């Protein structure tokens, strides 16, 4: 230890009495003023396992938010289909501005589309609930 220095006859420190042995911490690890004490604290050290878990979790979170966006888009699309099938179709029927054959041709595909997307939205919502 440097505290064990003695002064020689010329007024300087005596090298013979200097102890250059390293300071050992209680757990027998060499301590250094250059090493942060936080590095010895296991709660402050990030391991590769934690980083791997974080990387694996991020795509899952990203996929979840993408699925939520698909569900939101489906809800909007269904509302638009409902506007077309109920409001627009009934307005065209009342006004009698299109021949019935043309009206049937135009609107015949909206009901199957609406039915499919209603089921699709229910499936997405069920899967999101289980996520």
pLDDT tens profile 9-59: 555 555 444 444 455 545 555 555 566 666 666 666 666 677 777 766 665
Q: What is the number of alpha carbons within 13 Å of residue 19 lying toward its C-beta?
A: 7
Which pLDDT score is estimated for 78?
A: 96
Gyration radius of the chain over CA positions:
38
pLDDT over 90 percentage in the chain: 27
Q: In the chain, what are the domain boundaries?
A: 1-45, 47-131
Quickly list H helices, 1-131: 48-82, 89-95, 100-107, 110-130
Judged on CB neighbours under 10 Å (0-12, 13-18, 19+), 84 is middle
Q: What is the pTM of this model?
A: 0.50
Q: How far is CA 31 from CA 18, 38, 44, 50, 116, in A?
A: 19, 12, 17, 27, 69
């Amino acid at each position: 230890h440097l505290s064990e220095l003695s002064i020689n006859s010329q007024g300087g420190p005596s090298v013979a009495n200097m102890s250059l042995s390293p300071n050992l911490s209680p757990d027998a690890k060499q301590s250094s003023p250059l090493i942060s004490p936080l590095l010895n604290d296991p709660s402050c050290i990030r391991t590769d396992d934690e980083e791997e878990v974080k990387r694996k979790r991020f795509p899952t979170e990203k996929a979840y938010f993408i699925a939520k966006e698909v569900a939101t888009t489906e809800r909007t699309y269904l509302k638009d289909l409902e506007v077309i099938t109920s409001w627009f179709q009934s307005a065209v029927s009342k006004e009698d501005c299109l021949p019935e054959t043309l009206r049937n041709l135009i609107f015949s595909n909206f009901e199957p589309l609406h039915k499919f997307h209603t089921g699709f939205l229910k499936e997405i919502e069920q899967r999101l609930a289980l996520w």
